[in-house]
């Protein structure tokens, strides 16, 4: 087990340092900009972040109060810092505020959700899982929220010359970007809801996206309607979600 925090001692533990001299000669590398923080400060910072994350809720009643575009841009810029397979960043965020376009999206989403909720496209187990949330096919918030941000996953990359390149771990990468987007929106004091009106293929058509892009999730973004209510959900305690493998 590595105990030393001394840079030179730890360096000596590596028989295969990264980058290798050959790699560093071929590709550019920079020194990682990292400032070491003491354990107490790390604990304080982590508690602050955890408390904030724990206050986040998915909201289904948004205010129509406008939200400036630069806040959406900032959240997308944060999301786009997510790690991604082979650094392909296989995501596109499409931000919509135009009332006519939002209205069209609402209509199409409600059409799909009507099939799901009213025409039994969901099985009994799915309906049972959703029951405490009380969701149905009404999606007025898609028109009322000032922004809809639709996240598309790029199944492959299309280069300027029209040739294609494979993307790697697309779902995992886009999922990480989605999580960062949700966190960024929450941290700035806005609210969102990951919304997946299944199937979502209509979003590619209505937003005129290329064939390689698949809708991943849609985020209405705005201020929560004052006094909005959310399901009284409990989150799993740590011992249900964390296994420390080296403990008895």
Ligand X SMILES: Cc1cc2nc3c(=O)[nH]c(=O)nc-3n(C[C@H](O)[C@H](O)[C@H](O)COP(=O)(O)O)c2cc1C
Contact set with ligand X (CB under 6 A): 57-58, 60, 133, 135, 193-196, 217, 230, 233
Minimum CB–partner distance for residue 2 and ligand X (Å): 36
CA distance 81 to 94: 17
Task: Kindly tell me which of 60 and 204 has the beta carbon lying closer to ligand X.
Answer: 60
Nearer to ligand X, 142 or 247 (CB): 142
Nearest Cα residue to 119 out of 111, 107, 109: 111
Which CB atom, from 72 or from 193, has the smaller least distance to ligand X?
A: 193
Give me 12's structure tokens. Answer: 């000596």
Write down the least CB distance from residue 58 to ligand X, Å. 3
Name the minimum Å distance from CB 228 to ligand X: 11
* Token pair belonging to 71: 């806040």
Q: Which residues of 157-194 are buried (b: 16+ CB within 10 A; e: fewer)?
A: eeeeeeeeeebeebeebbbbbbebbbbbbbeeebbbbe
C-beta of 85 vs 194, nearer to ligand X? 194
Question: Is-contact 146 66, C-beta < 8 A?
Answer: yes
DSSP 62: B
Q: Give me the helix-helix angle, 69-79 and 170-187, nearest 10°.
A: 140
Find the shortest distance in angstroms from Cβ 142 to ligand X.
Answer: 11
DSSP designation for 224: B
Identity of the residue, 37 or 129, whose beta carbon is nearer to ligand X in the bound complex:
129
Q: How far is the CB of 168 from ligand X (least distance, A)?
A: 21
Residue number, nearest CB to ligand X? 58
* Shortest CB 5 distance to ligand X, Å: 37
Q: Decide: 144 and 191 in contact? Cβ < 8 Å.
A: no
CB atoms within 10 A of CB 9: 11
Choose between 60 and 102: whose C-beta lies nearer to ligand X: 60
* Least Cβ distance, residue 49 to ligand X (angstroms): 16
Comparison of 87 and 119: residue with beta carbon closer to ligand X: 119
Q: What are phi and psi of 52, to 5 degrees?
A: -65, -45
């Amino acid at each position: 087990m590595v105990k030393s925090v001394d840079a030179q001692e730890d360096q000596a533990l590596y028989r295969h340092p990264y980058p290798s001299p050959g790699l560093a000669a071929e590709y550019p590398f920079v020194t990682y900009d990292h400032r070491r923080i003491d354990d107490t400060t790390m604990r304080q910072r982590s508690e602050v972040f955890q408390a904030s994350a724990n206050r986040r809720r998915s909201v289904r009643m948004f205010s129509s109060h406008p939200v400036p575009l630069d806040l959406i841009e900032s959240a997308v810029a944060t999301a786009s810092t997510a790690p991604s397979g082979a650094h392909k960043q296989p995501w596109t965020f499409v931000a919509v505020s135009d009332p006519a376009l939002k209205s069209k999206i609402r209509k199409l989403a409600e059409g799909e959700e009507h099939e799901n909720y009213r025409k039994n496209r969901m099985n009994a187990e799915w309906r049972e899982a959703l029951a405490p949330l009380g969701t149905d096919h009404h999606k007025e918030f898609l028109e009322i929220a000032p922004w809809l941000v639709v996240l598309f996953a790029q199944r492959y990359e299309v280069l300027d010359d029209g040739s294609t390149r494979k993307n790697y771990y697309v779902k995992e990468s886009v999922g990480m970007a989605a999580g960062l987007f949700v966190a960024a929106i929450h941290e700035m004091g806005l609210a969102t809801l990951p919304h997946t009106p299944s199937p979502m293929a209509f979003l590619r058509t209505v937003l005129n996206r290329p064939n390689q892009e698949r809708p991943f999730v849609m985020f209405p973004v705005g201020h929560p309607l004052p006094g909005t209510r959310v399901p009284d959900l409990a989150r799993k305690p740590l011992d249900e979600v964390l296994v420390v493998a080296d403990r008895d």
